[in-house]
Amino acid sequence: MKQKILLFVFFLLLFTPLVLISKNKITLLNKKTEEIPNTDVETQIITKPIPLPYEKILLSRMTNEQKVGQIFIWGVEGTSNLTPENKKFIQTHKPGGVLLMQRNISDENQLRLLIQDIQSTNSIPLFISIDQEGGVVSRLKWNEILVYPQKSIKTPQNAFEISKQRGLLLKGYGINMNLAPVIEYSDSSKSFIYKRTFSGDINEVIEKSIASLNGYRESGIIPVAKHYPGHGNSVIDPHYNLPIIDIVNDKWEEHSKVFNIVIRDTNLDALMVGHILFPKIDSSPATISNIIIQERLKSSENFTGLILSDDMEMNALDGLRSPTELAEAALRAGCDILIYSKYSLDNRYHQQVVYEHILNLVNKNLINIDEKVLKILQLKIKYGIINRE
């Protein structure tokens, strides 16, 4: 009898924990089952849409006429006000910017009035640009800071201070873009560009170029570094003839060194491409060269800023192609903005005919300029030219 009792106790002790464990497993299983949502009930995931960048909102509201207008900077006629004919032309074609020339300028008050009149022509504020390098290229001449030559600048700090002070003066008149500094390297006094460049060896030129660009940016002015890839020691001025630089591929990096380093080391917003022929690189001048702009500047150097042409009315381009063919070629090569400095009521100059040609291409979907216009709008927003709604 005693043995049976002991055997019963033994089995009780053996199986009781197993029963408890099984019970707990069932309890846990039931608990987990309760936590699983009912798959028969449809659930909706509500995600907040990512807002579009403001430049894309603006682009979506623009007509083709407005888009085409943005890719041009035009010379204008008038002093305190635009001439009636020119004002109507600007209001109709809505260019992205204007270039102030010596003919538009007499004094400070007149200049402010003219710029106010220009900005009243378009719902999208314009680039108000000028060539104020200092020295021999100075449209404004009534202040020592405005005319101080690049060649006389001794140090990078001096370059920064001159550019910042000059930029503040320009901004006070309503100008927002300076087609300067010249960041080319030339060591021959016979070169037409020599007097317009910084002094020193190539490394000093690079340091002064970067400092000058920073000075303009600090003042709120868009600086446009020029003229890519450099005229070097050419004696030919593109205002009159086409400069030809006979370098081979192996010398390209050395020739364009200042630009390449400035692009790599700074956040360069804009540069101007010069009318320069490199016959051993491409049969077309740089302004309309796919090899130089697309392959070298944009792809090899990863430049993503705004690319402006030099004045498309210069004699350097005479006879190469028709004005409309040159404009189209420059845009296809990679230029974002084309400059035409001369206005006339007839077609003696090319603003009207080129605008109509590009508009026709856009309307027929033969060319897409949306990315160019986006870059223009982005830069205008960045510098406060366009205010966000």
DSSP string for 307-369: EEEEETTSGGGTTTS-HHHHHHHHHHHT-SEEEE----SSSSSSHHHHHHHHHHHHHTTS---
Short-list 151, 204, 203, 202, CA closest to 181 = 151
Model confidence over 103-136: pLDDT tens digits?
999 999 999 999 999 999 999 999 999 999 999 9
| Residue 50 included in any domain | no
Average confidence score pLDDT of the chain: 91
pLDDT at 330: 98
Q: Which domain holds residue 212?
A: 59-382
CATH number, residue 258: 3.20.20.300
Short-list 225, 228, 295, CA closest to 256 = 228
Higher pLDDT, 360 or 4: 360
| Residue 145 included in any domain | yes
pLDDT at 344: 87
| Residue 3 included in any domain | no
Dihedral angle computed from the Cα positions of residues 144, 221, 254 and 252, in that order, rounded to the nearest 10 degrees: -130
| Residue 283 included in any domain | yes
DSSP state of 299: I
| Residue 186 included in any domain | yes
CA atoms within 13 A on the CB side of 225: 34
Domain count, the chain: 1
Model confidence over 19-60: pLDDT tens digits?
444 444 434 344 444 444 554 444 556 667 788 999 999 999
Question: What letter represents residue 342's amino acid?
Answer: K
Model confidence over 223-269: pLDDT tens digits?
999 999 999 999 999 999 999 999 999 999 999 999 999 999 999 99
pLDDT at 82: 97
pLDDT at 345: 82
pLDDT at 71: 98
Rg value, the chain, Cα? 32
Angle between helices 370-382 and 54-61 (to 10 degrees): 130
Q: What's the rounded Cα separation, in Å, for the pair 17 and 67?
A: 82
Short-list 299, 367, 373, CA closest to 56 = 373
The token pair that represents 172 in the structure block:
């006070």
The token pair that represents 11 in the structure block:
């089995």
Model confidence over 325-377: pLDDT tens digits?
999 999 999 999 999 999 988 878 999 999 999 999 999 999 999 999 999 99
Q: Which phi and psi angles does 240 have, rounded to 5°?
A: -115, -40
Q: What's the rounded Cα separation, in Å, for the pair 67 and 95?
A: 9
| Residue 52 included in any domain | no
- Spatial CB neighbours of 259, under 8 Å, sequence gap ≥ 6: 183, 225, 228, 229, 230, 271, 301
pLDDT at 36: 46
| Residue 66 included in any domain | yes
Q: In what helix (H) or strand (E) does residue 178 lie, and over which residues does it extend?
A: strand 177-178
pLDDT at 121: 97
% residues pLDDT > 90 (the chain): 85
